[in-house]
Amino acid sequence: MDSISGIIIIADVKTNTIVYTNLAAEQLLHMSRACLRGFLAPNLLSRLGSDHLTWAQDHAKAFHKPENVPEDRIGVDNAAIYILARVLPMMLSADCEYLLTMATDISDEVAYRKRQLMTRELAFVLEGISTTREMWGPTMEMLPKISGFEAIAVCQRSIFDDYVLFLPKDGKFSPVIPRNSIVDRIITRVSR
């Protein structure tokens, strides 16, 4: 189970303690297996802030049937992670009952969907713009969010004027960067 990328956590139903986690769970949760083993499952779920996963575990335990968590947001070390999960009850005997939780990190897919929506929104905003000057405000505001970068550069090359504008993280233009300056050469090299 350590060789698969999916997260696996097994908890004892009677004691509510975690008895097994695979390597992917250890890496996602930033906790060692030794620390996770014996951890109370409700405490872990509370720490992750997942109401859907808590509901799925409670239902799987109460009704002895599998439950799905379509998409849920959990918090790990103050970072938002999106998961898909399935909780399966496992009865080995009358005295041995476990809950197997399998989850997949879908954070990249969720981020991609958000970027797609912002791209559509930017296209909608730009639809009504008639001049290049009107375009810069919304473009410079939204492109860092769409690209995931902290800052973007705008290079304008023409017969009449060659200059580079740089937008730092705080959302304001810095003064024009002179052509052939070190910054201009770096940006030009990166953009090729």
Give me the DSSP letters along 117-140: HHHHHHHHHHHT--SHHHHHHHHH
Confidence of residue 87 (pLDDT cuts 50, 70, 90): very high
Threshold 0.85, pTM exceeds? no
Q: Tell me which DSSP letter residue 49 carries.
A: T
Q: Is residue 92 part of a domain?
A: yes
Higher pLDDT, 6 or 176: 6
Domain of residue 174 covers 110-191
The pLDDT of residue 91 is 85
Higher pLDDT, 182 or 14: 14
Average pLDDT in the chain:
81
Give the Cα separation of 112 and 151 in Å (integer).
Answer: 19
Query: pLDDT tens digit string along 59-75?
Result: 999 999 999 998 899 88
Give the Cα separation of 88 and 65 in Å (integer).
Answer: 7
The pLDDT of residue 142 is 82
Give the Cα separation of 24 and 38 in Å (integer).
Answer: 18
Confidence of residue 84 (pLDDT cuts 50, 70, 90): very high
Indicate whether 97 and 140 sit together in one domain: no
Confidence of residue 49 (pLDDT cuts 50, 70, 90): confident
The pLDDT of residue 175 is 46
SS3 176: coil
Indicate whether 42 and 130 sit together in one domain: no
Specify the residue for token string 């959990």.
Answer: 74
Indicate whether 95 and 26 sit together in one domain: yes
CA 104, 108, 112, 115 dihedral sign is positive
Indicate whether 114 and 97 sit together in one domain: no
Indicate whether 101 and 126 sit together in one domain: no
Residue 26 has pLDDT above 80, yes or no: yes
Q: Is residue 2 part of a domain?
A: no
Structurally, the chain folds into a number of domains equal to 2
Rounded mean pLDDT, 97-111: 92
Rounded mean pLDDT, 84-97: 87
